A = this chain, B = another copy of it.
């Protein structure tokens, strides 16, 4: 187990570098309430510790899995408020999984048609461009 001690006094750039997150994105996540506002130094500089880093990593991982910021807010709320967040978290993830699968299906439909027209354009034997004809609707897209 790493992070035995809480490391304090991280600046924003350092937090960004450690997590691979864009500098401005950190501020954005604070603004929209995904990350808590960190304490400030006397001069008003944000001062993070490893608990902030952990939470930011959670957000970044969830984004990698395609969760929306609203869904992530919901997940974080469950983590904060529930003893056993698993059942409710599962619902969020399962719903998101449905979304992802629907998107895959959409993209595969596009892929099929695109592959088709690119192949037809490639053989170059046709007088009219099959891609353009398809888009003008003389041929069906499905």
A residues sitting closer than 8 Å to B (CB atoms) are 54, 57-58, 61-62, 64-66, 75, 78-79, 84-87, 89-90, 93-94, 96-97, 100-101, 103-104, 107-108, 110-111, 113-115, 117-118, 121-122, 124, 126, 129-132, 134-137, 141
Expressed in whole angstroms, the Cα–Cα distance for A132 and B135 within the complex equals 45
B135 touches A58 (CB 8 A): yes
Instruction: Identify 10 residue pairs between A and B in the complex whose beta-carbon atoms are under 8 Å apart, listed by A's number.
Output: A58-B137, A64-B141, A65-B113, A66-B110, A87-B124, A90-B118, A90-B131, A97-B115, A97-B118, A104-B111
CB-nearest residue of chain B relative to A101? B111
Copies in the complex: 2
B57 touches A137 (CB 8 A): yes
B118 touches A107 (CB 8 A): no
Which residues of B lie under 8 Å from residue A129 when comparing CB positions?
84-86, 89
